Structure 1
Amino acid sequence: MSAERRYRRLLRWYPEDWRSEHGEVVLGMLLDDADAAGRDGPDAGEVIGLVIGGIAQHTWRRNDRRRTTATALIVAAVLALFYTVTVTWSPSTAYAGFLGPFSNPTVLVASALAVAAGLALAGRTGAARLLAVASVAGLVVLVVAAERSGWMGPGVGVLALLAPPALSGALPPKDVRGVARDAAAATALVVVLLGAGIAASYSALLVELVAPDVPLPAVDLEFAAFAAAAPLLALAARWPLRRRPRPAGAAT
């Protein structure tokens, strides 16, 4: 087996994205060092060092994603609790959809997200991610129920505000650039939803063009905009910015 193939096998201990970015440069340096030392491959020290380095890179990435999960879920929990306290707290009123002193049941979602954030901080990342997904699913159910039953929220805007950080915590990106793209996609989603709400609320002509014979509440247009924009923006946030270069010497 050639020295290049032996070094390539050792570099497989490293994460794929690390190899795509650094693999060829590191391989060249290793081959140059071996040639300068008169060796025809890695010695025992290099083998151990490369294996340990690869495991460390994988561990760092796992820990980094755990930090991303905790941070995103903390953001989601803070936003949910802020909405619950400042918008839904209404102890002196009673109406359809009220839950105790709260004007709608979003307090349940806020509590679940707070627990998920606590689990993430405690290192129970898997449970935190599952609870975050369940929280978003529950919020979707509440939004639909509120719209169909005439509750005082939560509306689609609350879903657009809370779902992106909660899902970013449940399905964390692999690096800082991914976090930035998730944040940009979430911002774009809120902007799209606000635009749809403004158009539906203030443009009777638009509503007539969309459904001239059928009453079309503003919330239905908001739902439609959310359903169309959310998957597209989520895919755009996770789509690779460029094709990964094929390593030199790889099979075609």
Structure 2
Amino acid sequence: MSWQAQIITLYPDMFPGPLGHSLAGRALEQGTWACDPVQLRDFATDKHRTVDDTPAGGGAGMVLKSDILAAAIDHCLERQPDLPVIAMTPRGKPITQARVREIAGGGGVTLLCGRFEGFDERIFEGRPVEQISMGDIILSGGEMGALTLLDACIRLLPGVMGAASSGVEESFESGLLEYPHYTRPVEWEGHMIPEVLRSGDHARIAAWRKQRAEEDTRLRRPDLWERHIGVRDQSPSGAQRKTKGQRS
């Protein structure tokens, strides 16, 4: 059974887009996953196929209507009732690699792409919709975020990456940024590949990579480092380990 991707959008021609190429494209051709864009305007009830209206209380822009959104979501739930419905919105919870793995480990996902000023808030009260943000940035719509989330999931599907271990040491998989990579030539414009990577000593290489991953995470992403330290200092029971000098 293919991993199913339903995408509710005003621009179905944007899919599969870049996901029709490279590893994701090959997996799509092989039936590992299926791409099913759903045109939101198909659920409009007037001759103009209206999907939005002015904000209640005034203000700039337009807001996607809850009744039209609900009809589209109900259609997708009827076809794929077991798939989570996720709205791409900057008001959502920031995505994590752990959540990506959960989504990839299921049967697929239904993605709801916003436009204009976003969604009528009542859609989140009336339907089981999870709100996810791809980062603290502003995009023109949810489609680019949806493509990013789909790419993150598809690469984790069985058989998509060449080797089973290909993604194990990627950034965020262990809670750290990935260590830096080098390849030939050994010297480029006076810059050398670190000696340890040319030593053939696998234990030293592993230790160096671990040290660099920790150093780079601490310096570049202190938020990740704090979380990593917190997880590392948890005992198997979930209780915080006592540090030196700490009293019970």
Same fold (TM over 0.5): no
Larger Rg: 1
Tell me the TM-score normalised to structure 2 length. Answer: 0.22
TM-score (norm 1): 0.21
Q: Which has the larger share of helix?
A: 1
